[in-house]
Amino acid sequence: MNSHKNNEKIIQLLSEMEPIHDESEEEKKKRLEMTANAIKNAEEEAPFAFAKRIAGGVCVALWAFAIVAMVFGFGELGVLLPFMLISLAVVCGLNIPDFWKKGKVMDVVVAIAACAACLIFAVGMIIAGSR
């Protein structure tokens, strides 16, 4: 998995690497380029990695709570489902910038559609449930 910690480990390994044989200019250039790319990847992903981890954890916790509530009968679907959909929309929305950076236009479109659909259904359920 390409995470901030993994990128930092790669940067550290690449900077500590000592060649087995004498490096040619081309090999040295490649090694420095790989280190620069790893640093760039670490800097680009750092702001979104923590937010994705938190949003994913909240989404999983909310879904697990809702499933347990439904199984044991102390939760109502009309109350829990909107919040489950909102948490799913947040997780979808946080993936949009990554898809855009990678040039995956169709994934961006699908993520935006999924995010919008989740939000529309959640708000609709909240409005309909309040009547």
* Per-residue model confidence (pLDDT) at position 42: 65
Would the CA dihedral through 108, 112, 117, 119 be positive or negative?
Answer: positive
Distance between CA atoms of residues 50 and 55, nearest Å? 9
Q: How far is CA 83 from the centre of its chain?
A: 19
What does the pLDDT look like over 59-112, one tens digit per residue? Answer: 888 888 888 888 888 877 777 888 888 888 988 888 888 888 878 899 999 999
What confidence tens digit (pLDDT) does each residue in 27-51 have? Answer: 778 878 888 777 776 666 656 677 7
pLDDT of residue 121: 93
Q: Which pLDDT value is given to residue 22?
A: 66
**pTM of the predicted model as reported, rounded to 2 decimal places:** 0.60
With a cut of 70, say whether residue 11 has pLDDT above it: yes
19 contacts: CB under 8 Å, gap ≥ 6: 27
- Provide the pLDDT for residue 43: 63
Q: How confident is the model at residue 8 (pLDDT cuts 50, 70, 90)?
A: confident
Contacts of 21 (CB under 8 A, 6+ apart): none
Confidence at residue 118, expressed as pLDDT on a 0 to 100 scale = 93
